[in-house]
Amino acid sequence: THSVLSTITTENGVCAWPQRVLRRRKEQILTWVKMGCLSRIVRGHSRKCVAIALVCLAITATTTNAALDEAPEGIPGSKRADAQPTRRGTRKKPSDAARMLHAELSTLRKEVADLKEATVGLKTYPKVIKRNELQRKRILITGGAGFVGSHLTDKLMMQGHEVTVLDNFFTGRKQNIEHWIGHPNFRLVMHDVVDPFMMEVDEIYHLASPASPPHYMYNPIKTIKTNSQGTLNMLGLARRVNARLLLASTSEVYGDPEVHPQTEDYRGNVNPIGPRACYDEGKRIAETMCFAYHRQAGVEIRVARIFNTFGDRMNLGDGRVVSNFIVQALQGKPITVYGEGQQTRSFQYVSDLVDGLVALMNGNHTGPINLGNPDEYTMLQFAQKIKALTKSESEIVHKPMPKDDPTRRRPNITRAKTQIGWQPVVTVDEGLAKAIKYFAEELKNGGTIHDKNGRRAGPYNALDKYAKNSQG
């Protein structure tokens, strides 16, 4: 409405249309007014009709003599309405049509103002590709409110699919996906995958599980149940509705590897009774169940082994290497390195991982497939890199090595390149720049990773407990 008004009036409200246009439109406008439909036109958002209505507004707002001469007879403020008394000494009364026009214009002004007020604060969504019903997949993402799950939700929503996020918010956060709430293609369900869940879906991305050491050690039994019973429930659903299921497994299935770099054929070196076993063995049994359902029941599966991932929406206190180092550096606190810092890790940015998950789901390879960045850093090198990027004066301190902490971790991604055409494109430095900016904004909102007055439910204040448990 405002854009149309700007085309027919100048900045001070004077009518900018040629007088011949107003003269030609005047009778048409009066006819519309007599029909009493201008207000209905504005409500219906007809561009052509709203333009005609705004011509009326422009006429009454006109202050030049030329425009006033063309105003309908009897409009207050026009030359004809303000004319001197006639020879007989009487002022000419406004016609019925003029009075109707004036009343209708008053109503239009109010409705235009209401429309302007109604558009203020309306929720807008990221741009979504439009798809017809046959092209639009129905996708379920367990753990979809978490760090990786929320980014996967963004990608699939923007591709135009219908996405249902299933999350119990043990480590996930509603703010990660709140920008989609209310969208017709989006649905959020608060539910624990340990309990059965029924719905019609085409694809299932099974990401539900705490993934950082402090989180999965906070409640080891819960971690085991999520990865065993939760995976069993999702496989049962996939079998029932003939859906394809992707399991988000982990590089932790390799344990403390004796083969470097790790290929998908390596069977691992895992301590089944150590403090990390709840997660390591939980993911191993989840993979076992996926392949059992695939062989016995014909369920279509995809298995991704995910290596260290970082990016925005990570929790401040999740205890992972990247978040720990960045937050400590930004706060000027000592940067904690375990052992001598010679153990190695490989880090990928979250957008690369999401692209890999979607490529694997849409590809023809069952897996398992490693998804990670082959660039390898010692923990001491990585701490020094983050210290330099944040321009921090924090000192680097060393603490005892946690029990069963892997000494080397680097993926061989040959299978990902050849089978699904995937490899990371975001460099570690590019990703760290984005992550540092994100954590700096988070810290501006107040609180620290040990804020005792903050969120207490779940594993958010579990770092001290992790330090104790990780020693065995």
Provide φ and ψ at 432, rounded to 5°. Answer: -65, -35
Is 313 in a helix, a strand, or coil? coil
Reply yes or no: is the peptide bond before residue 368 cis, omega within 30 of 0. yes
Reply yes or no: is the peptide bond before residue 214 cis, omega within 30 of 0. no
| Burial of 17: CB neighbours in 10 Å, binned 0-12, 13-18, 19+ | middle
Task: Give strand pairing partners of 247.
Answer: 206, 303
Contact present, 271 and 214 (Cβ < 8 Å) = no
Provide φ and ψ at 130, rounded to 5°. Answer: -85, 130
C-alpha distances in Å from residue 103, one per residue of 57, 334, 363, 464: 12, 73, 65, 72
| From 279, 293, 377, 466, the catalytic residue | 279
HSE (side-chain half, CA atoms, 13 Å) at 22: 23
Residue 279 is a catalytic residue:
yes
| Burial of 451: CB neighbours in 10 Å, binned 0-12, 13-18, 19+ | middle
15 DSSP assignment: B
Separation CA 24–CA 18 (nearest Å): 10
Contact present, 144 and 173 (Cβ < 8 Å) = no
Separation CA 451–CA 439 (nearest Å): 15
Separation CA 373–CA 390 (nearest Å): 22
| Burial of 183: CB neighbours in 10 Å, binned 0-12, 13-18, 19+ | middle
Separation CA 159–CA 419 (nearest Å): 23
Residues assigned a catalytic role:
279
